With several copies, the nearest count.
Chain A
Amino acid sequence: MRYLPHTEADIQVMFDAIGVKDFEELFQTVPEACRYDGEMEIPEAKTEWNLNRYMGKIRSMMPVSPDHNVLIGAGRYQHHIPAAIPSVMGRSEFLTAYTPYQPEMAQGTLQGLFEYQTLTARLLGVDVANASMYDGATGLAEALLMGLRVARKKTRIAISMAIHPHFREVVATYFRPTDYEIIELPFLKDGRTDLSSLAGEDGIAAVALQSPNFFGVIEDMEAAATAVHDVGALCVSCFTEPLAFGLFKSPGSCGADIVCGEGQSLGIPVSFGGPGLGMFGCRDAFVRNMPGRLVGETTDLDGKRGYVLTLSTREQHIRREKATSNICSNQGICTLTATMYMASLGGTGLRKLARLNYDKTEYLKKALQETGAECCFSAPTFNEFVVEFKNDFSTTWKKLMERGIVAGLNLGRFYPGFDNRYLFCVTETVSKDVLDMVISEVEK
């Protein structure tokens, strides 16, 4: 076995040194009653070539090929990824290291994470960002728990129904064993969250909105933050498409106190939904309540600049049950990848790319409306929007699928009454030709 170095002779030398005669004796402390019976039910070892063949067979079971145009976002977005990124990220010094507990030997990782934190803070408009959460959904759950920690005595949180349904499910999972109450905020005709029910409410620790929300709609975050702050709650703003902040105001600049979301858009492949990147930031004041790892700048014995993991008294390995979160391993490789992507895009490129995504989406939105489909929500959108078709769209959808286009996501299973509503997503990867094919098929 090519990963295992042990020759028969090696094993004997080691048995002798240890003073055992065989593996049986080596495992003497494993009681008979705990022993594994027989052999594990796993197929026989495959050579590299048989593995290739096997995985090739599995890949051939994917009828939606990489050449398809998938006009679905809903939390995961197909964007172009420059080849330079996986190429540099693939360097084993990055890939095969672990948590940078020994900072002098991991300055590459640490400076990389510090850069990630900084670019993320700039993108989200927050004072500080951590070194990542598992994904957008768990980040949101942790943000709300953090809101409750900051608020101390309060026991209620409110979350918008226009937040990604899976995110809300994960929040529910995290909150189930607690005594906290979750209030759901409905959305208005324009697709934005209805915050009117908040007014006069009391004991709410935090209110969470998503912008762009699940319908692609840009919330009026400034107004929302004011309304939330008016009831003494923290404003938690989440997102699934950070590219939006190349064009739209950042959540932090709108007044959000905690900002969290999914960073997969930033150079990370869709990959059936994972690994992604939980981006997470907040105001300076709340740093010590933050979950997750933080990298900080410091100096060495000679006064030279360097980076270390810091404020770890928040963390489980120091604080155990009193930690701000149980998170330990995070999404390291994905954070570095996202930083490489942000660095490759640059400020100029990010704006240009965001604008392009916006324009393409508007093109399709307008054209579909002209075919008679109804745009369900009137507020501005980014990248995604919801339309309702007059007739049953499912046959058109199947026809387009046969032509290599996945024409939106049916929302029937997420919201009652949305059976003929579709969430469309258009990124820079989709050409006008493809959009025109969709339009003309809808027109038929």
Chain B
Amino acid sequence: MNSAPGQSGLIMDEPLLWEKGKTGRNGMSIPESDVPAAPIPDKLCGNGPDFPDLYEVEVVRHYTRLSQWNFGVDTGMYPLGSCTMKYNPKINEKHAAAPELAAAHPMLGDEYCQGTLRIIYELQQYLAAITGLDAVSVQPAAGAHGELAGMLIFEAYHRSNGQKRTKILMPDTAHGTNPASAALCGYKPVPIKSGNRGILNVGQIRELMDEETAGIMITNPNTLGLFEENIREIAEIVHEKGGLVYGDGANMNAVMGIADMKKCGVDVLHLNLHKTFSTPHGGGGPGAGPVCVVDKLAGFLPSPRVEFDGTTYRLEAYRPESVGRMHSFHGNYGVLVRALCYILTMGAQNLKKVSQYAVLNASYLKVKLKEHLHLAYDRPCMHEAVFSDKKQLEFKVTTLDIAKRLMDSGYHPPTIYFPLVVPGAIMIEPTETESLEELDTFIEVVKQIVTEARTTPELLRNAPQRFKVKRLDETQAARKPCLCG
């Protein structure tokens, strides 16, 4: 493939950690003891775990080599839909790792933590400003954790009204965490089918919403990359029945400074700081999923939050109606520092540009790619567009094959087979940090792969070829699990 950036080069093989090392080596300094040895309670003592002893060079090489088998945003385009794999600024790493913050102990009194508390406070304020909502807790450690906080707030709110509601409306495009989070709070998801326009329709909600139902969880823009145009009307219906509207804000990257979540009728919303706000989350995390609410729900937020009286930052006092503590301390604090740095670096105008360019990039890809891949919903999209393998099935080429071939070409594949409502979904989210040139190359590569699907489909079915391993047998892994070496 000529235009594709992917090529073959040298990488290094490397065994598992415990296939290396020799007893007695050491990989880090341990201070000499300056105190007498104390007697130890033999009965309680063990032998310590069977860890290999490596020296520093072995450790460094081990991970340097492992890293060669990986692909990150710094390596190339990573259009993993719903995940907003944008550039993670280097300067933010430096601030999060600053010794004063890295060493800050969370059990010290407020007077010793003014700096760390201020960071939380400012972030609370700015996230409120960005969403249009009124109050924020930064405790949730990821998006799903934010959803759980939200569902707990739903539950606490209804309980405060003397109600115990049992159901929740759940669009079929919802991310799996939504029903799972709702279930944790005892809510049974009532599925709502996407209409043929890919968005919720008012009639359906009117039909399904009742006073047993706690409310609705809406992802907006939704996981098809479409703005839920009827969200206000839907919210009105839900509110009329005493319900609340949960907004899954994972896709906030599309609408910063453009949509106001409060005006949309959202009561509770989580943000994914590791997506929209550019914090790195290698290998799966850490994330941060602050939960934002309208005024009337502020009292239910997880506690403690940070308050500011114009002079001093403080952890707020016990709030009896709060859903309580969600995390050992203040959530994934280091992630919060990075997110604040990002917001301060961008300012309001650039954050709006982020959303404009994110949507511009996705729309451009949508228009250019729909000639080659089947576009699930041909409507104006937001930050992502969902295609499928419909056109390729006749050649017995699947979404998975296309994804693996993209890998050989030097791209991380899009999110595949999600959302479930689009069979063989290929969900592409370029983010705003990709350039027009990069998009054009990607389009070119997809075009070539689509051609190959027709002319040399085995190229796709045998992909990937350029990696340390060929296609891995996931079935075998699940059938005879080997989870521990």
Contact = CB atoms under 8 A, between A and B. Distances in A.
Interface in B147-206: 147-148, 151-152, 155-156, 175-177, 179-186, 188-189
Contacts of B259: 30, 34-36
A89 B28 CA distance: 16
Contacts, number: 754
B329 A166 contact: yes
A39 B256 CA distance: 10
A308 interface: yes
Contacts of B37: 355, 359
Interface stretch (A127-135, A153-161, A198-206, A224-232): A127-135
Most buried by B among A4, A51, A344: A4
A114 B232 CA distance: 46
A321 to B, nearest CB: 4
B10 to A, nearest CB: 8
A62 B100 contact: yes
A173 interface: yes
Contacts of B256: 40
Interface in B257-297: 257-260, 263-264, 272, 274, 278, 280-287
Contacts of A90: 93
A5 interface: yes
Given A40-B257, A66-B103, A294 B80 contact: no
B193 to A, nearest CB: 15
A330 B285 contact: yes
A152 B376 CA distance: 42
B251 to A, nearest CB: 13
Interface in B369-412: 379-380, 382, 403-404, 407, 412
Contacts of B308: none
A271 B116 CA distance: 9
Interface string A158-170: 0000001011011
Interface size class of A (residues with CB under 8 A): 35 or more
A18 B362 CA distance: 10
B144 A59 contact: no
Contacts of A11: 360
Given A170-B328, A248-B45, A41 B284 contact: no
B56 interface: yes
B115 A274 contact: no
Contacts of A30: 227, 229, 255, 258-259
Contacts of B87: 3
B142 A123 contact: no
Nearest to A248: B44
B231 interface: yes
A347 B48 contact: yes
Task: Report which residue of B62, B94, B141 has the largest number of chain A beta carbons within 10 angstroms of its beta carbon.
Answer: B141
Contact of B27 (A18, A169, A332, A345): A345
Contact of A92 (B72, B302, B471): B72
B334 to A, nearest CB: 5
B144 A287 contact: no
Contacts of B368: 17
Interface in A1-36: 1-11, 13-15, 17-20, 23, 26-31, 33-36
A40 B344 contact: no
Contacts of B327: 134-135, 137-138, 170, 273-274
Contacts of A104: 404, 407, 464, 467-472
B183 to A, nearest CB: 4
Nearest to A170: B325
B232 A31 contact: yes
Given A41-B348, A47-B30, 7 more contacts: A3-B433, A46-B345, A82-B91, A98-B283, A122-B50, A299-B473, A406-B108
A371 interface: no
B25 A346 contact: yes
B349 A343 contact: no
A177 B142 contact: no
Interface stretch (B125-133, B237-245, B448-456): B125-133
Interface string B308-330: 00000000000000011111111
A216 interface: no
Contacts of B106: 75-76, 270, 272-273
Nearest to A351: B48
A251 to B, nearest CB: 10
A321 B102 contact: no
B67 interface: yes
A301 interface: yes
Nearest to B50: A122
A400 B189 CA distance: 56
B73 A323 contact: no
A437 interface: no
